[in-house]
Amino acid sequence: MLCFQHRVRCPEQRGEFGTRRALSLAWRRTSQQVLRITFEENPNTIVIKLEGRVAGPWATELGRLWQEKSPAVAQKKLSLDLRGTTFADAGGIKVLRAIYSQSGAAILTGTPWTEYLAEEVARKNSQQADTES
């Protein structure tokens, strides 16, 4: 595209500025496939706060951290904060089920997606308990 005043290419078309470039950069920032795991310890409680995607290698890392931290959780009340979770694959749900079944954690939700995820984790655990008895 040519600028009418100077008959040269506009800066927007050089890939340095413009809506297309801004949208491309925003998409890259918001679609990162990562998981932030935060352990917040208080005298009586531990909160595991998850932000992002519980999937693939991040689900494996959550499982590894859980195995490492679970002995310390035994004497404290655990809360699993899923309010920042955006996605969970089958492996991620499996890890969340393991955490929930081993600790009886309270699950914190804030969106329809996280409510569904919490129900899925709790429902599967109650079905497993029914079949084992």
| Backbone Cα Rg of the chain | 22
The domain 33-132 is classified under which CATH number: 3.30.750.24, 3.10.450.240, 3.50.50.100, 3.40.50.300? 3.30.750.24
pLDDT tens-digit map of 38-94:
999 988 899 999 999 999 999 999 999 999 988 878 788 999 999 999 899 999 999
For the CA atoms of 81, 121, 53, 23, the dihedral, rounded to the nearest 10 degrees, stands at: -90
pLDDT for residue 127 = 55
In angstroms, the Cα distances linking 19 to 24, 25, 114 are 8, 10, 32
The CATH 3.30.750.24 portion of the chain extends over 33-132
Residues 6+ apart with CB under 8 A from 106: 77, 78, 79, 80
